[in-house]
A and B are shown apart, each in its own frame.
Chain A
Amino acid sequence: MTQMLRLENVTTAYGAVEALKGVSVHVDPGEIVTLIGANGAGKSTLLMTIFGSPRARTGRVVFEGRDITGMPMHEIARAGIAQSPEGRRIFPRMSVRENLLMGAQSFGVDPAPGLEQAFTLFPRLKEREAQRGGTLSGGEQQMLAIARALMSKPRLLLLDEPSLGLAPLVVRQIFTAIRTLNRETGLTVLLVEQNANQALRLAHRGYVLVNGRITMGDTGAALLARPEVRDAYLGTH
């Protein structure tokens, strides 16, 4: 089976500080893969390294058989990867609609079906359509960030902590949306989460990242059952 995304022994650093120390992970087509780990483990860095910022010092990033390690960021996006990044990064002085249109405009796709999908998935966004991105609540911004990433019809979606700071009800809504997209459209997802319990339940497979190194990789259910995962990330029962 050909892998959709593969990181081979990737090292990244900010100045002298190594954030990723030889990370190898892969995502197969149609999978939801989650990456769990504590704050500062390097989860967000891993997602940004896929987009070349920071650039991998050693190792390679391969997407659909193509080495994308040194490619400019916009070309990586145009290759079919979208990201809902850390901090959501909504354009604060653009309307919700304009934020969504931004997600489609570099890809030569008709934005109409994307808008419709976004408003079906998150009806809240429809109500806020003309409102400025900067005035949305955290949950609404998260919905917008995911919906914006979907506008380009990506084959691979990278999600960085979609549950951060959100009410449980909103988290459930977002996780349901991810599962629906995966089942109905075959969207492949790489999900970074601190909320390990829900992430592992949602994902087919998971990796545990500790201080820039992958320490475990297994199916979501298997990881959930491991005592060391339960102790470190789920709280002891």
Chain B
Amino acid sequence: MAYALQQLINGVALGMIYGLIAVGYTMVYGIIGMINFAHGDIFMVGAFISLISFVLIAMGGWTAGPGAILLVLLVSMAVTALYGWSVERVAYRPLRGSFRLAPLISAIGMSIVLQNYVQVAQGARVKPIESLVTGSVELWHGNGFAVSISTMQAMIIVVTLLVLAIFTWLVTRTSLGRAMRACEQDRKMAGLLGIDTDRTISITFVIGAALASVAGTMYLLRYGVIDFYIGFLAGVKAFTAAVLGGIGSLPGAVLGGLLIGLIETFWSAYFSVQYKDVATFAILVITLIFMPTGLLGRAEVEKV
């Protein structure tokens, strides 16, 4: 029981990271109907920008504390957002109106470009960072097993919830969010109503990249090592999360992320670590067989 509870905490903390990345996939899919395969690499870029920011701050002699982490988060969000914007501008916008597969192939190309760019600019070796957030709180002690939540895990959960709350408010309550939803539901009509749809799509990429960069910062702090290749597997997992939750659905992306995190953690804890990815993807396949639109995806029923 205590052991399971511990896994639940571990799984939620991991799932939050997947969820943050998954939101970017699902948003872009919703608005322009393409899978942005470079999104995992945007997450990786976010992690690297966080690392560089931490190093710069340390060089400036500021000892790491909550203030430093907040600053890194903001810097990383801003710079990564710029990357997200550029990717859309360079690789996808010129292909709008082209055949459906074109931006998809362009996305794969962009993913390779980003990986190689970081590999060349930062080196191929794994980059470590010392633990900045340490300590943990023991929540419960039972049967000789202590259930605890580390400060890091608590931070991941709190920061993610906060970011998602702001994001939800943005999408559901502001005119910008309304414009984004309008473009998702009927882009041409949005244009007829004076919405600059290209700009709205750009903003979608900017927001998706900023969320992925938060995930990147959290990943860096949690695991302490990053390299140019982390975006691939994290991207595939987050994409899986988005599909599991129902691609196009924002709550679905977060739910999918949490489920993937939990499945992975519980499988590793009770069965074999080696097969955790097999378990994750097997559950995805089974879910899609019985619910082709994902857990919260909608079947397209509209009155004409």
Contacts and interface: CB of A to CB of B under 8 A. Distances in A.
A175 to B, nearest CB: 22
A93 B178 contact: no
A111 B302 CA distance: 27
Contacts of A41: none
Given A53-B188, A141-B303, 15 more contacts: A51-B192, A73-B188, A73-B191, A74-B194, A77-B194, A82-B193, A83-B192, A91-B186, A93-B181, A93-B185, A105-B175, A106-B179, A106-B196, A135-B303, A148-B193
A74 B185 contact: no
Contacts of A137: 303
B42 interface: no
A107 interface: yes
Interface string A40-57: 000000000001010000
A170 interface: no
B192 A73 contact: yes
Contacts of B303: 92, 134-138, 141
A94 B185 contact: yes
B194 A91 contact: no
A76 B98 CA distance: 24
B188 A107 contact: no
Interface of B: 175, 178-179, 181-182, 185-186, 188-197, 302-304
Interface string A88-99: 010111100010
A83 B179 CA distance: 17
B188 A91 contact: no
A58 to B, nearest CB: 21
B191 A74 contact: yes
B193 A103 contact: yes
Contacts of B304: 87
10 contacts: A51-B191, A77-B191, A78-B194, A82-B192, A87-B304, A89-B186, A94-B182, A105-B175, A105-B178, A141-B303
Nearest to A87: B304
B179 to A, nearest CB: 7
Contacts of B185: 91-94
Contacts of A152: 193-194
Q: Which 6 A-B pairs have the closest CB atoms?
A: A106-B194, A77-B194, A73-B191, A89-B189, A91-B185, A105-B175
The dominant DSSP class at the B interface is helix
A78 B192 CA distance: 9
A25 interface: no
A91 B191 CA distance: 13
A102 interface: yes
A78 B195 CA distance: 9
Of A53, A93, A136, A152, most buried by chain B (CB within 10 Å of CB) is A93
**Interface size of A as a range:** 20 to 34
Contacts of A82: 192-193
Contacts of A51: 191-192
A212 interface: no
Contacts of A93: 181, 185
Interface hub of A102, A141, A148 (most chain B Cβ within 10 A): A102
A85 B192 contact: yes
A206 to B, nearest CB: 24
A101 B189 contact: no
Contacts of B175: 101, 105
Given A91-B186, A134-B303, A102 B178 contact: yes
A106 B192 contact: no
Contact of B302 (A72, A92, A148): A92
Given A89-B189, A101-B175, A106 B195 contact: yes
Nearest to B186: A89
A53 B194 CA distance: 14
A5 to B, nearest CB: 16
B193 A102 contact: yes
Nearest to A165: B304
Contacts of A87: 304
A221 B204 CA distance: 51
Interface in A179-214: none
A89 B181 contact: no
Contacts of A106: 179, 193-196
